[in-house]
Amino acid sequence: MDVWISFPVIALNISSFLRRTVFDPAKSTAYECGNDPVGDARDRYSVRYYIVAMLFLVFDVETVFLFPWAIIYDKLAIFGLIEMFLFIGILIVGYYYAWKKGALEWV
C-alpha cells in the first residue's frame, strides 16, 4: 500500500478505537442556534423571502462584472469608464425599481 493512502486509513482506525462512545440524546436533536426546535420543518415561508434572496443574487452576480473591468482599467481608457458608469446606472435603476415596487420590504 502506498504511504499516502495508508496514513489516513491507519489514523482513522486508531482514532475510532481511542474515541469515547457515549450516547447523548441532545446530540440527536436539530440544532437551531442553541434553541429547542419549534414548529414543523415543513412550514411555509413568505414569498418575499425568496424575492429578496433572488434580488440579492442578481445584484451580487452583476457586481462580479466589476472585477474584470478593474483589472484592465488602464487598457479601456475613457470608453471603459463610460461603459462602467452606464452599467452602474442600470444597476441603480434596477435597485430603485425593486425598492419602489416594495420587493425589499419585509412586512
Bridge partners (DSSP) of residue 32 are 35
Residue numbers of the domain that contains 32:
3-100
Residue 78 is assigned to a structural domain of this protein = yes
For the segment 34-67, what is each residue's pLDDT rounded down to a tens digit?
666 677 778 787 777 788 888 888 888 888 888 8
Residue 107 is assigned to a structural domain of this protein = no
Residue 66 is assigned to a structural domain of this protein = yes
So what's the pLDDT on residue 31? 67
Residue 34 is assigned to a structural domain of this protein = yes
Residue 41 is assigned to a structural domain of this protein = yes
Beta carbons within 8 Å of 62's beta carbon, 6+ residues apart? 87, 91
> Does the pLDDT of residue 107 top 70, yes or no?
no
Question: pLDDT band at residue 1, thresholds of 50, 70 and 90?
Answer: low
Residue 106 is assigned to a structural domain of this protein = no
Distance CA 68, CA 76 (A): 11
Residue 46 is assigned to a structural domain of this protein = yes
Length of the chain measured in residues? 107
The three three-digit cell numbers of residue 77, written as one number: 481608457
Q: What is the count of structural domains for the chain?
A: 1
So what's the pLDDT on residue 24? 78
Residue 77 zone, left/alpha/beta (φ > 0; ψ -120 to 50; rest):
left
> Does the pLDDT of residue 15 top 70, yes or no?
yes
Query: Are 68 and 87 in contact, with CB atoms under 8 Å apart?
Result: no
- Residue 93's CATH number: 1.20.58.1610
Residue 105 is assigned to a structural domain of this protein = no
